[in-house]
Amino acid sequence: MKGEIGAKLREGQTRIISTQRQGEGKKEEIKVKTDVRIYENQKEADVAEANAELAAKKAEWTRQAQMAEVESAKVVTIREAELQREVERMNALTRTEKSSY
């Protein structure tokens, strides 16, 4: 490749190689950007899933707390009824003893 024709051929080949390298660089840049976006989307999905699980757990905890409150109120009501029955029994015994004298 000597002379003017050789120089033109070298120049043409250099441009071809340069264009190919630029194209490869662009492809690699696009690939990296795509990989980054995929990673970001996966992280967003993971966060959304974790938030959904947390919301479900909070709802369950709230439901359990409400059930515990209902059960506590029920136990208190039963105990109050038992105590009232005992008071009434004692009052009846007292009346019976007074009328026996």
Q: Scanning the structure block, which residue is given the tokens 């439901």?
A: 63
* Mean pLDDT (the chain, rounded): 93
| DSSP, res 93 | H
**Using CA atoms, how far apart are residues 7 and 12, in angstroms rounded to an integer?**
9
First-last CA distance in the chain: 142
Question: Residue 101 corresponds to which tokens in the numbers above?
Answer: 């004298």
**What does the pLDDT look like over 25-41, one tens digit per residue?**
999 999 999 999 999 99
DSSP secondary structure, 27-43, as one string: HHHHHHHHHHHHHHHHH
**What does the pLDDT look like over 55-84, one tens digit per residue?**
999 999 999 999 999 999 999 999 999 999
Instruction: Kindly state the percentage of the chain with pLDDT values over 70.
Output: 96
